Amino acid sequence: MTDIPENPNDEGDLKRSLGPIHLISLGIGCIIGAGIFVLTGQAAATFAGPGVVFSFAIAGLGCLFAGLCYSEFASMIPVAGSAYTYTYATLGKFLGWFIGWNLVLEYLAASSTVAVGWSGYFNDFMLHLGMPIPAMFNGAPIAMQGFNHFVATGSLINLPAVLLVAFITGVLVIGVTTSANFNNAMVAIKLTIVLVVIFACYSYIVPENHVPFVPPNTGEVGHFGWTGVFRATGVLFFSYIGFDAVSVAAQEAKNPQRDIPLGMLGSLAICTALYMVMSYVLTGIANYTTLNVAHPVSQAVEALPATRWLTQYVNIGAVVGLASVVLVLLLAQSRIFYAMGRDGMIPAIFHEVHPKFRTPAKSSIIVGIFSALLAGFLPLDILGQLVSIGTLLAFAIVCVGVMVLRVRAPNAKRPFKTPFVWVTAPLGIIMCLFMISFLPFDTFLRLVAWTVIGVVIYFLYSSKHAKPSPYAVKTETRG
């Protein structure tokens, strides 16, 4: 007989206060952000041209397969930890650590990436007010030229990005309900701005800007043509990690078995449609070659006399919207650490809950410090690609875990079942590995270096202190 305990050792130490609207809003809050306001322009200008619309569609399809697998796990194991907890329960201690360590990379780099994108729009906003941020404080000290060449920028630190992370960390320490309500307000503002831009700019699309829709390849893999579309897909996959962040909040959901799948898949469907339409409009009102800047949407609307009035509204929407993304990402990372601390993978300080706020306050503060350091000193290019490869690996392993669990625990209670699992899960794995294969080679090198560090930590600390997963499959062999 095989089964999984439904909710073992649920101490109730995290407050269950999030309903379905909160969770869908968390997903949208995390998904609609850097993808629209920052990475669309970079991916179009560098890899795909207007074909970035196809890149978003492919990435969304890959997320759908992974999201269906995530939803089954989230309904079975409705606790903090996301892919880390699922992998630990089904594939064992080492792979659980491997995924947890990759999720650390994913969320830390993601929150820092979005904070850097936020800084670009905030700088533009302040410039239009006649109060520009001094050059030494408005960017990373280094920039990447080409794929492996770094140059000094003359800046000392990206101070606005650091201050944003510090502010959001404070909000998260106060409480998850406060954070969720704050996020709801920010989501409403940025969705309004996105829809206004789409409807106001659609009639000003210049058809010539979409010709050719997929620019011819330059002779180098990943530089335009269909290989460029596929490489952009891997980079833009970062934009979709919001639905993963929904599952991280499972232990704070009122009815996780029902609401987590609804939050994940609902936010994914809404956001994929918005991404495709917004990227079509953006590459239609501006030539894609002009969009490789930190604030591509405001630059595109400002270039057209008829839409120039939208510039400051776009900046406001981006400043508010990207802040909500940083909030969700930092929340997710602190909950990953909370789960890893629960299992003994990392020191118990990460599992401690504040007696008044009922949040993992120390974990949130530690995460905030590291995120601020990355945002202050690293450029957007490096951070974004690190997020994508870590996310894709985590999603692929979740798809494997769902199939393993169908074999090892076929009778376990599954409030949500992945439809056509033996088709859906392999397609999820194939899509994730396909997108990984088109990422730049140096991204793999950074992942290897990060993995080596993680393996050393695992054997020096985690393997000696890790507890058996309370959610692991229990098997009785009949003799």
8 Å CB contact between 84 and 395? no
Element (H, E) at 300: helix 296-303
pLDDT band at 10 (very low <50, low <70, confident <90, very high): very low
Nearest CA-CA partner of 332 in 117, 111, 99, 182: 111
Domains and CATH numbers, the chain: 20-469 (1.20.1740.10)
Most confident range (mean pLDDT) of 152-161, 276-285, 287-296 is 276-285
Q: Is the confidence at residue 423, as pLDDT, over 80?
A: yes
pLDDT of 245 reads 66
DSSP 3-state assignment of 357?
coil
Q: Is the confidence at residue 479, as pLDDT, over 80?
A: no
8 Å CB contact between 265 and 67? yes
* 100-130: pLDDT as tens digits: 888 887 778 888 888 888 888 888 888 888 8
Q: How many residues does the structure list for the chain?
A: 479
> What percent of the chain is modeled with pLDDT above 70?
84
Question: Could you give the CA distance from residue 209 to residue 216 in angstroms, rounded to a whole number?
Answer: 14
Question: Could you give the CA distance from residue 221 to residue 200 in angstroms, rounded to a whole number?
Answer: 36
pLDDT of 478 reads 36
Q: Is the confidence at residue 477, as pLDDT, over 60?
A: no
pLDDT of 125 reads 84
Mean pLDDT of 265-279: 88
Q: Is the confidence at residue 469, as pLDDT, over 90?
A: no
Question: Could you give the CA distance from residue 61 to residue 81 in angstroms, rounded to a whole number?
Answer: 24
pLDDT of 165 reads 92
Q: Is the confidence at residue 217, as pLDDT, over 60?
A: yes
Q: Which pair of structure tokens corresponds to residue 36?
A: 């629209």
* 124-165: pLDDT as tens digits: 888 888 888 888 888 777 766 654 566 777 788 989 999 999
Residue 218: φ, ψ to 5° = -80, -5
Name, in order, each residue with C-beta under 8 angstroms of 71's C-beta and a sequence gap of 6 or more.
260, 261, 264, 265, 416, 418
Q: Is the confidence at residue 258, as pLDDT, over 90?
A: no
Q: Which pair of structure tokens corresponds to residue 60?
A: 């969304």
Amino acid at 328: V
pLDDT of 183 reads 66
Nearest CA-CA partner of 34 in 338, 208, 205, 241: 241
Helix axes 296-303, 176-201, angle to 10 degrees: 30
| 242 vs 462, more confident | 462
8 Å CB contact between 298 and 314? yes
pLDDT band at 11 (very low <50, low <70, confident <90, very high): very low
**Cis peptide bond upstream of 379, omega within 30:** no
Nearest CA-CA partner of 250 in 379, 84, 29, 386: 84
Mean pLDDT of 290-297: 83
Query: What integer best gives the mean pLDDT of the chain?
Result: 80
Nearest CA-CA partner of 238 in 402, 56, 370: 56
Mean pLDDT of 41-64: 89
| 178 vs 172, more confident | 172
Question: Could you give the CA distance from residue 150 to residue 387 in angstroms, rounded to a whole number?
Answer: 20
Distance in angstroms between the alpha carbons of the first and the last residue of the chain: 12
Q: What is the pTM of this model?
A: 0.76
Mean pLDDT of 29-40: 76
